[in-house]
Amino acid sequence: MAENKPHHVTDQTFQTDVIDYSSELPVLVDFWAEWCGPCRMVAPIMEKLAEDFAGQVRVAKVDTDANPGLSQAFQIRSIPTIMAFKEGKLVFNQPGAFPEAAFRDLVQQLIDLEIPEDDAEGEPQQ
């Protein structure tokens, strides 16, 4: 069954719920906190994206206050920070709130993004 709501992720579940899962579907991650004004503006957009792109993208949310390990690991300096993972790789990382149209463009690009098979080797593509 496709998820149509943001998936809440923790320090303990991030590897499985985001990195490993991104081999099945791309994952858009919102690093946020309760006290953050711009985060509250992004939250309803994330809800809409989860609903509109159910079965194509997983939308995940990380509460930075409750999950300091992830904040430290990804060097989160400002929230919201939006990241995207595909095929186990971080493919997008940018702090700040964007308009809904920009989020929709990002999600579409994430869905369409092709990760080269031998990208891990670092060899040039033919």
User: What b/e string do you get for 43-81 counting C-beta neighbours within 10 Å, with b at 16 or more?
Assistant: bebbeebbeebbeebbbbbbbbeebeebbeebebeebbb
4 is catalytic: no
89 is catalytic: no
- Among the listed residues 39, 49, 70, 79, the single catalytic one is 39
Q: Which two tokens stand for residue 56?
A: 């194509």
Return all residues near 116 (Cβ < 8 A) that are at least 6 apart. Answer: 125
Omega into 80 within 30° of 0, i.e. cis? yes
- Among the listed residues 36, 42, 82, 97, the single catalytic one is 36
Enzyme catalytic residues: 36, 39
